Amino acid sequence: MKHNLIFGHKTPDTDSVCSAIVLSWLKNQLDEPSVPYILGNINKETEFVLNYFNVATPQILDNVKIQLKDLDYDRVKPFSKDSSVHFAYFHMNENKLRTLPIVNDDGVLSGIITMKDIAMSLINTDQQHICTSYDNIIETLLGKSLLRFNDIIDGEIIVASFEEKTLRKTSFINKNSIVIVGDRYDIIKYAIEMGVKLIIVTGDMEVPEELLSSAVENKVNIIGTSYQTYYTAKNISLSKYVKDIMKDKDIIMFVEDDYLNDCKEDIEQSKHSKFPIISKDNRYLGMLSRNHLINPQRKKVILVDHNEMNQSAEGLEEAEILEVIDHHKIGDIRTSIPIIFRNMPVGSSNTIIYYMYKEHNIEISKEAAGLMLSGIISDTLLFKSPTTTERDRSAVEELSKIVDLDLYKYAMEMFKAGTSLEGKTMEEILLQDFKKFNLIYKNVGISQVFTLDINQIMNSKDDYIRLIDNITYDKDYFLIIMAVTDIVNEGSYIFYTSNRDRLVKGIFEEENVFQGMYVDKCVSRKKQIVPAIISALRLIR
């Protein structure tokens, strides 16, 4: 079943992860199949929340590029490699197929055949020798089984049009013969005595009982057909296995997880028009043609807690954006058709989703309430952030009634889990909640690190500054700011790209700026730092 992909930004935090999960639950109850994803590893705070409410961590989504499995390729029924060429031909003819996939008993692709392959097999292959199944011969000649002792028939085809005495003299018939004969009972008798592989009696002729008895004693297979001798001789070669004529080398095939753009060149440059699609374990799935590339089916995505391309999944330009739920400034996401875009000046994306539940009159489970509540208190720092609104407070008040917990105690446990820097490298700390913005045509990176112990950062201050400078120049940023936010004291220690003192002075309106300076009441990246950077950049244009 096709489903919508719901995900937050590249640096998953509690608000983005929880909003993706609870929105997917809402969509599924509204009969809009949806699955939540994350674009990277979750942080310790989010891990605490999911464990507390016993909710599984969403799967990591690498990208939303168009894959072959997204295309509406043809689910052509495969054929067994032991089927007859005759059966394959009529199936292709009736279903107007030019290429037929051949699989083994496990469904693994063995090869392909085309109408051209069938035609060339009638011209270029040995038509006198045949090795196939008894059943294939029955199917090809619309025959009936008179006597069967072997499942596999392997021998030389003899059309018995000579007199029996001539056959004796020339020794045309031997134990390896497959004899095609009409009402020449003397020949049938002789063939039985020789113990041939198979006798095919044409023209719907009856075989006398005494000959059948003799054939039983000699274990000679006999098939009857209503076809005349000429038609039987002409068509019996079609009873061969398709594996004998199929192409099984140098087949251009693709795995369903392959990306469309990676396959286009091979498809367009190939002289073939059909290409098998297989799974990772080589099982056949369907056939792809050039027509399927014209209007490819895009992944349907819903974005939460962000609306900027550089914060979103790789390949977003190849996806179909259905909806955006966010509480940040309007970014650069563009669509070719109108979509639902819900952007509200509240403290958390989960606040918006809470009211969506209310609008649709959908009951909120304890798990959903717990996740939404966690997302709101995380992004608002338990209402200490200036982004906090009455809508956030009202939502938390109602959600608290559902989960029935001590809000302050739970929040402190959550913050404690989230601010632990133990076991992390400096780069992991810097990038764990890092967002890239394009502000006034300049790339700006803002990292926010929450902590209850600023000394953990200050003890490595110089190393953090060097790391910020290296990333600034290596990744072509104009400015990087790391705001180390003290949740208890409601302020942030600011670290920044070394040669941007003048700009930082304008951003924070401080006369004396230095690495690690404390800015009181600065706790919001979205509402305080980003707008301040935009204003400062406008002044230096």
Which of 401, 418, 435 represents a domain boundary (last residue)?
418
DSSP state of 234: H
How many CB atoms within 10 Å of residue 425?
10
> Do 403 and 465 belong together in one domain?
no
8 Å CB contact between 197 and 222: no
Query: Domain tally for the chain?
Result: 3
> Do 354 and 373 belong together in one domain?
yes
> Do 391 and 449 belong together in one domain?
no
CA atoms within 13 A on the CB side of 521: 3
Buried b (16+ CB within 10 A) or exposed e, 263-300: beeebeeeeeebbbbbeeeeebbbbbbeebbeeeebbb
CA atoms within 13 A on the CB side of 27: 20
| CATH number, position 401 | 3.90.1640.10
| CATH number, position 211 | 3.40.1390.20
> Do 431 and 398 belong together in one domain?
no
In the structure encoding, which two tokens stand for residue 216, read together?
Answer: 């039983």
8 Å CB contact between 157 and 181: no
8 Å CB contact between 7 and 311: no
Residue 6, helix vs strand vs coil: strand
Distance CA 483, CA 529 (A): 9
Would you mind telling me the total number of residues written for the chain in this entry?
541
Give a yes or no: residue 10 inside a domain: yes
Residue 457, helix vs strand vs coil: helix
Give a yes or no: residue 434 inside a domain: yes
Give a yes or no: residue 291 inside a domain: no
| CATH number, position 499 | 3.10.310.20
Distance CA 525, CA 448 (A): 7
Looking at residue 199, its pLDDT comes to: 93
> Do 372 and 444 belong together in one domain?
no
Distance CA 374, CA 67 (A): 35
Give a yes or no: residue 93 inside a domain: no
In which domain, by residue range, is 451 found? 426-539
Give a yes or no: residue 475 inside a domain: yes
pTM: 0.70
Which of 418, 440, 461 represents a domain boundary (last residue)?
418
Q: Could you tell me where the DSSP H helices lie in 229-360?
A: 229-235, 260-269, 349-359
- What amino acid is encoded at 72 in this protein? D
H or E element, residue 374: helix 366-379
Looking at residue 422, its pLDDT comes to: 81
H or E element, residue 90: helix 85-94
Give a yes or no: residue 508 inside a domain: yes
> Do 482 and 410 belong together in one domain?
no
8 Å CB contact between 380 and 347: yes
> Do 474 and 498 belong together in one domain?
yes
pLDDT mean by block of 10 residues, the chain; 541 residues: 90 96 98 96 94 97 92 87 90 87 90 86 78 94 93 91 52 84 89 92 91 93 92 90 88 90 84 87 89 85 94 93 94 90 96 97 97 96 91 96 93 89 89 90 93 87 96 95 90 95 92 93 90 90 65
8 Å CB contact between 72 and 94: no
Give a yes or no: residue 116 inside a domain: no
Which of 365, 390, 418 represents a domain boundary (last residue)?
418
Name the packing angle between helices 366-379 and 44-52 (round to 10°).
160
Looking at residue 541, its pLDDT comes to: 65
In the structure encoding, which two tokens stand for residue 156, read together?
Answer: 């030389």
- For the chain, the straight-line distance linking the first and the last C-alpha, in angstroms and rounded, comes to 51
> Do 228 and 309 belong together in one domain?
no
Residue in the structure block whose two tokens are 């020789």: 194
> Do 194 and 237 belong together in one domain?
yes
Q: Is 10 left (phi over 0), alpha (psi -120 to 50) or beta?
A: alpha
Closest CA to 418 of 38, 52, 48: 48
Buried b (16+ CB within 10 A) or exposed e, 340-357: eeebeebbbbbbbbbbbb
Give a yes or no: residue 492 inside a domain: yes
> Do 407 and 450 belong together in one domain?
no
> Do 373 and 442 belong together in one domain?
no
Max CA pair span of the chain: 121
> Do 468 and 406 belong together in one domain?
no
Residue 504, helix vs strand vs coil: helix
Distance CA 98, CA 11 (A): 48
User: For the purposes of burial, counting CB atoms within 10 Å of the CB of 329, is it exposed (0-12), middle (13-18) or buried (19 or more)?
Assistant: middle
